[in-house]
């Protein structure tokens, strides 16, 4: 199966049909929630921060930002179709967004004034910068513009978590090199390193000098999944946990929610 970023540019790949199919998939919603929660765990931010969501898509990750820490966020994405889906969400429903949206190409830079944000996240997006979608696109320059302008848009000491899917070690090295040249300190966290299916890369950065205990941007992947998570978080959020968390959110909003049962979150057996 071809990787999306090698198929077409993101603004083309995520057409109106693909954007709606992506957003309505319960599997995609669950995975995006897991990765966003993990990114927030690694950042260890105080509540009510002002966060930039790079490659926000239809707002699945931004929704978690609002729910988990009461964060205020701005999302930027290159796909008009993805942003249109985000804007079409029911403003009174459980999926209502609490952030502002901005149409922009991260490869041409983060278009915000210096020191605007306390933190930034990016879920499944920055690997797109490593592909030359046209004869004039230079991945190295696009990576450089992104990280340099992101550094400028953060307050000093601001944190960044970028979850991404590198195609190979060269892409990982290129991303690490661009972040280091921009002035970031931090490192690469790899969850489930031995798993081909569930392996996840998180680039955790700080806009400023490296402090004691920080990782170095030396291109070495470190599996920190066991040591950085709390005991209650040793396993990724299960489908049942996800459903219960969504139900609790709806109850807080005064919505009627079905009671939990022994069948909550249980996988259905296939019909033959």
Which segment of 54-63, 173-182, 214-223 scores lowest on mean pLDDT?
A: 214-223
Burial of 8: CB neighbours in 10 Å, binned 0-12, 13-18, 19+: middle
Whole-model pTM? Answer: 0.76
Looking at every residue in the chain, the average pLDDT score rounds to: 82
Average pLDDT score over residue span 37-63: 94
Residues 196-229: b if buried by 16+ CB within 10 A, e if exposed: eeeebbbbbbbbbeeeeeebebeeebeebbeebb
4 pLDDT higher than 90: no
pLDDT score for 224: 46
Closest CA to 162 of 151, 83, 67, 170: 151
CA separation for the pair 100, 179 (Å, rounded): 26
Q: What is the pLDDT of residues 165-211, one digit of tens each?
A: 999 999 999 999 999 999 999 999 999 988 888 899 999 999 986 55
Model confidence at 9, in pLDDT bands (50, 70, 90)? confident
Q: How far apart are CA 76 and CA 88, in angstroms?
A: 16
Return the minimum-mean-pLDDT range out of 18-32, 144-158, 245-259: 245-259
Segment 61-78 mean pLDDT: 92
> Using an 8 Å Cβ cutoff, are 75 and 60 in contact?
no
Q: How far apart are CA 139 and CA 128, in angstroms?
A: 9
Mean pLDDT of 246-258: 66
Residue 221 has pLDDT above 60, yes or no: no
Poorest-confidence range of 13-22, 87-96, 138-147? 87-96
Which residues does 101 contact at the CB level (< 8 Å), separation at least 6?
Answer: 56, 59, 74, 75, 76, 77, 83, 86, 87
- Among 9-13, 47-51, 154-158, 199-203, the minimum mean pLDDT is found in 9-13
Q: What is the pLDDT of residues 191-204, one digit of tens each?
A: 998 888 889 999 99
Residue 98: pLDDT band by 50, 70, 90 thresholds?
low
| Predicted pLDDT at 258 | 76
- Which of 209 and 144 is assigned the larger pLDDT? 144
- What pLDDT score does 72 carry? 93
Share above pLDDT 90 across residues of the chain, in percent, rounded to a whole number: 56
| Highest averaged pLDDT of the listed ranges 126-140, 142-156, 189-203 | 142-156
């Amino acid at each position: 199966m071809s990787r999306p970023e090698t198929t077409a540019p993101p603004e083309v790949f995520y057409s109106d049909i693909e954007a709606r199919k992506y957003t309505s998939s319960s599997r995609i919603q669950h995975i995006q929630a897991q990765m966003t929660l993990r990114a927030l765990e690694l950042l260890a931010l105080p509540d009510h921060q002002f966060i930039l969501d790079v490659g926000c898509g239809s707002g699945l990750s931004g929704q978690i930002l609002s729910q988990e820490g009461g964060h205020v966020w701005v999302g930027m994405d290159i796909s008009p179709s993805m942003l249109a889906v985000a804007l079409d969400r029911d403003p009174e429903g459980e999926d209502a967004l609490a952030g502002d949206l901005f149409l922009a190409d991260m490869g041409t830079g983060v278009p915000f004034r210096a020191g605007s944000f306390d933190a930034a996240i990016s879920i499944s997006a920055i690997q797109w910068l490593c592909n030359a979608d046209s004869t004039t696109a230079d991945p190295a320059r696009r990576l450089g513009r992104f990280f340099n302008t992101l550094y400028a848009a953060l307050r000093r000491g601001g944190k960044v978590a970028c979850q991404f899917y590198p195609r190979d070690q060269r892409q990982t090295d290129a991303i690490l090199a661009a972040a280091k040249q921009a002035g970031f300190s931090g490192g690469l966290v790899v969850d489930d390193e031995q798993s081909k299916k569930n392996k996840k890369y998180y680039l955790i950065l700080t806009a400023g000098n490296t402090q004691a205990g920080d990782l170095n941007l030396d291109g070495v992947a470190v599996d920190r999944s066991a040591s950085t998570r709390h005991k209650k978080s040793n396993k990724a959020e299960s489908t049942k946990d996800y459903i219960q968390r969504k139900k609790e959110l709806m109850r807080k909003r005064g919505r009627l929610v079905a009671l939990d049962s022994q069948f909550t979150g249980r996988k259905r057996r296939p019909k033959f």
